[in-house]
Amino acid sequence: MPPRVSRRARTDLRFTGRIAGVGTSRGPRFVVGMWETSPLGRFVDVMVEDGAGHRILLAPSPDVADFVSATYTFDEVRFLPVSWRKVDGGLRVVAGGPTEPVLDLRLGIGGISGLGMLLRAVPSAFATAPGWLRLIDPIARVLVPGSATAGTAGGDRREYYGVTLARRIVSLEGTWEGADLGVLARLDPPVTFGFGSAPASPSLVDVTTTIR
């Protein structure tokens, strides 16, 4: 079941952390949420869309699985351990058991992107405010095709993405369901879990997501 929160807390649920969005040369595309603070506590979840358009959620707990699957659209939900850690030059995401994980993803993280430079010019109080994000949404959709900063989520919810920093993802290696993922590719076509996708250029973004 979703977390029990007060009537006021139900109005604005804020998730603060990072999102990594990548494509692969073998077809699967991944959006990884690494949430430091949220109404569900600290957690990691992974959204996967394969080359045929099959959408899978990897969630570490029933609460996360219930809440995320009620907000986004999936064809399949899997409940299993999901974690991330820093490694030399980037980060590693593992879902499943330590010996035979369903997903083992290693991402090389580069410098701040051109988009990230623009975002740094916006004070964080504005960059994460739903009113500002609703205002700039048409501009964001033009500047970063496939992405959006405001839209309708599942369960009669509105959702706002406030990105404050963007870094380039420069390399990828790993496996998905035992198969090699190949090399890094654009997140193209866009993923279809919600009203918007992550940027087509592989990116790691600092973000505050507000669900209203």
Q: HSE, CB side, 13 Å, CA atoms: give it for residue 14.
A: 12
pLDDT at 128: 87
pLDDT digits (tens, 9 = 90+) for 15-72: 999 999 999 999 999 999 999 999 999 999 999 999 999 999 999 999 999 999 999 9
Q: How far is CA 101 from the centre of its chain?
A: 20
Given a contact cutoff of 8 angstroms between Cβ atoms, the answer to whether 138 and 151 are in contact is no
Global confidence as pTM: 0.88
When pLDDT is averaged across residues 127-140 and rounded to a whole number, the result is: 82
Could you give the CA distance from residue 76 to residue 184 in angstroms, rounded to a whole number?
24
List phi, psi (to 5°) of 143.
-70, -40
pLDDT(148) > 90: no
- Of the two residues 112 and 137, the one the predictor is more confident about is 112
pLDDT at 145: 73
pLDDT digits (tens, 9 = 90+) for 177-187: 999 999 999 99
Handedness of CA 159, 160, 165, 170 (dihedral sign): positive
The DSSP bridge pattern shows strands 103-112 and 90-95 to be antiparallel
Q: Which of 197, 200, 175 is nearest to 186 (CA)?
A: 200
